[in-house]
A and B are shown apart, each in its own frame.
Chain A
Amino acid sequence: MPSDRYLLTGLGVMFAVTFCLRAAPFAVLGRLRSSRLVAFLGTTMPTGVMVILTVYTLRDLDLTAHPYGLPAALGVAATTALHLWRRNSLLSIVAGTAVYMLAGQLLTP
């Protein structure tokens, strides 16, 4: 087991780097806020970033071997359909995850 001193220093490094990354854009944002490009990014980025994060969470899916990513595909389809229909985040997430877990159980020999 690593020493407490090493662990705490490591955590401190992660804290500092993460905080600086999160703070960096605000340091120059005063000048940027009037920019039309930043306004454009502000409206178009959020949806796209969510699409990228969705792909990121599925990056280790193996489409070449059984069950060919089918549980995840069914889970995403169920989540999307439910959310388009009922607009209830909680319901969409719970049901989508349930579909994923159920499909995983049924398709695993």
Chain B
Amino acid sequence: MTTALAPAAHPLRAAVRDTLGVGMGLFPLGLAFGVLITQSGFAWWWTPLFSLLIYAGSLEFLAIGLFLALTPLASVAVTTFLVNFRHVFYGLSFPLHRVRGRLGKAYSVYALTDEAYAIVATKPAEELTSARILAVQALCQAYWVLGGLSGALVGAALPPGLHGLDFALTALFVVLAIDGYRSARDVPGPVLALLCALTALLVAKGQLLVVALGLYVLALTVRHLLRERGRRAL
């Protein structure tokens, strides 16, 4: 009974357990994406193409409108850069050094989404094997792509009562914030993050993510410098 719970022994089983909560958020959101894209006039097979080539949830929703408006490719590139800029920060604390092999690393970077980062970076590094990280990322993508396909095929047949399912994504981030706190036990960090997010909401709602994350990294850097100075003064 005790060995069955050891995460290193069964990477896939551990990854399934790691990703179930996220899957509850990803699958319905993928479903919503599939419904939206087919109702916008795209053939169903565009859904997996979007999910495999873009593979960044919020950008995929945005892409439908951008493409229908025949947005110039340069604008598409700039929008992608701004919407996905937060991913630059994920690499700083994602344990890619634990993933083995060139192909494995390439896939791990390609599939470094909000959700994959959240699951992996909030776990103690000693629990993470290469197989477990890759399985977590592959499962996340499977939930997303399968959700999208189901949504595209089911289309408008979904009952209207399902409206509001996308709140699962909010609940998911709340849960992951609590998990992250349990792992790091740091109070000023999340408080600073909330202040940065609310500031960005007030001054730059359209670029909330980029502004809030930039401010947060700045605040943490200042905090680090103050701590270092305090340490040196002792």
Contact = CB atoms under 8 A, between A and B. Distances in A.
B208 A21 contact: no
Contacts of A46: 93, 117-118, 121-122, 180, 183-184
Interface string A16-53: 01110111111001001100111011111111111111
Most chain B CB within 10 A, of A42, A47, A80, is at A47
A12 B53 contact: yes
B171 A97 contact: yes
Given A22-B91, A47-B186, A49-B89, A104 B164 contact: yes
A97 B143 CA distance: 18
B170 A57 contact: yes
A52 B81 contact: no
A40 B224 contact: yes
B171 A92 contact: yes
A: contact size bracket = 35 or more
Most chain B CB within 10 A, of A26, A51, A56, A79, is at A51
Consensus secondary structure, chain A interface: helix
B140 to A, nearest CB: 14
Contacts of B87: 18, 21-22
B54 A18 contact: yes
Interface of B: 20-22, 24-25, 41-42, 46, 49-50, 53-56, 59, 63, 66-68, 70-71, 73, 76-77, 80-81, 84-93, 96-97, 109-110, 112, 114, 117-118, 121-122, 163-165, 167-181, 183-184, 186, 189-190, 192-194, 196-198, 201, 205, 208-209, 212-213, 216-217, 220-221, 224, 227-228
Interface of A: 1-2, 6-7, 9-15, 17-19, 21-26, 29, 32-33, 36-38, 40-59, 71-72, 75-76, 79-80, 83-84, 89-90, 92-94, 96-97, 100-101, 104
